[in-house]
Amino acid sequence: MVVLLLVVYDWVSALASTRAVAAVAHGRSILQVEHLGLERAADHWLAGIAWLQAPASYYYDLAHLAVTMAVLVGCWAYRVPGYRRARNALLAINLVGLAVFLLYPVAPPRLLPGGGFYDIVANSGTWGAWEAGGGVSDRANELASMPSLHASWAVWVALTVATMTTRRRWRALAWGHVAMTFVVVVVTGNHYVLDLAAGALTCGVAWLLSPLLVVRRRPPASSPAETELVGVD
């Protein structure tokens, strides 16, 4: 399933360059619908704090995947009863994301011509900056702002951790990751506020529906010999 997702993502990414005009138009439409100006103000705020740009860029580049995979592997390794639900929810999130990326490409704020945004991650020079070229950056789909998978995965982490432990410190840490992710993706010019709402909604729906995808395994049928021995003193 993971390989299939990667293949589809690669195919969708290859189409991105042919739909740049539509993606930019969709991005401008989102800004008009929101009518907040929060994204530009937040981006300019971070652009004025040089020492904070690298940490924010690293968090954007690395925490998204590292934290999600760590929680997924931990959930599987500790045989948490809710593992199948968490796994299926994560797969559903990505399937929905790929479908939207294909049908409604959206350029992030930093790629809007004349939008007045600073591309914090690209200008930070940190590992993973898309414009650096080479490796993962060559395969990245830059016109996939809506919904924010950063937001979806972060909320998924919090919900999954809640099924793994009742300790408040771990749950608080997971929700702290959600808050940090939401802030970072906006101040770096990578997502609109509406992207975050769509990402959180995608995760919520996937989480609610994922139990329907869990196949309940039936216990093996008893052999005739075993049946005859039941009740024997």
Domain parsing of the chain, residue ranges: 2-214
Structure confidence at residue 128 (pLDDT): 56
Q: What is the three-class DSSP state of 144?
A: strand
Instruction: Give Rg (Cα) of the chain.
Output: 21
Lookup: tokens for 134: 């080479």
Eight-state DSSP code of residue 220: P
Instruction: Map tokens 């790629």 to a residue.
Output: 111
User: CB burial class (10 A; 0-12, 13-18, 19+) of residue 111?
Assistant: buried
Q: 129: how many CB neighbours lie within 10 A of its CB?
A: 18
Kindly state the average pLDDT of the residues 187-194. Answer: 94
pTM of the model: 0.84
Percent of the chain with pLDDT over 90: 55
Per-residue pLDDT reduced to its tens digit, 54-90: 999 999 989 988 999 999 999 999 888 889 999 999 9
Lowest mean pLDDT: which of 87-101, 117-131, 189-203, 219-233?
219-233
Per-residue pLDDT reduced to its tens digit, 120-144: 888 877 665 544 444 444 445 678 8
Quote the distance between the C-alpha of residue 33 and its chain's center: 23
Per-residue pLDDT reduced to its tens digit, 6-62: 676 666 666 666 678 888 999 999 999 887 789 999 999 999 999 999 999 999 989
Structure confidence at residue 72 (pLDDT): 93
**Count of alpha carbons within 13 Å of 69, Cβ hemisphere only?**
6
Kindly give, in sequence order, each residue whose CB lies less than 8 Å from that of residue 38, ignoring residues fewer than 6 positions away: 186, 193
Q: Tell me which H or E stretch contains 206.
A: helix 193-209
Residue 204 and residue 188: Cα distance in Å, rounded? 25
Q: Output the CA–CA distances (angstroms, integers) from residue 120 to 49, 126, 128, 187, in the order listed.
A: 11, 10, 12, 8
Structure confidence at residue 12 (pLDDT): 65
Per-residue pLDDT reduced to its tens digit, 145-188: 899 999 999 999 999 999 999 999 999 999 999 999 999 999 99
Structure confidence at residue 225 (pLDDT): 45
Residue 134 and residue 163: Cα distance in Å, rounded? 38
Mean pLDDT, all residues of the chain: 83
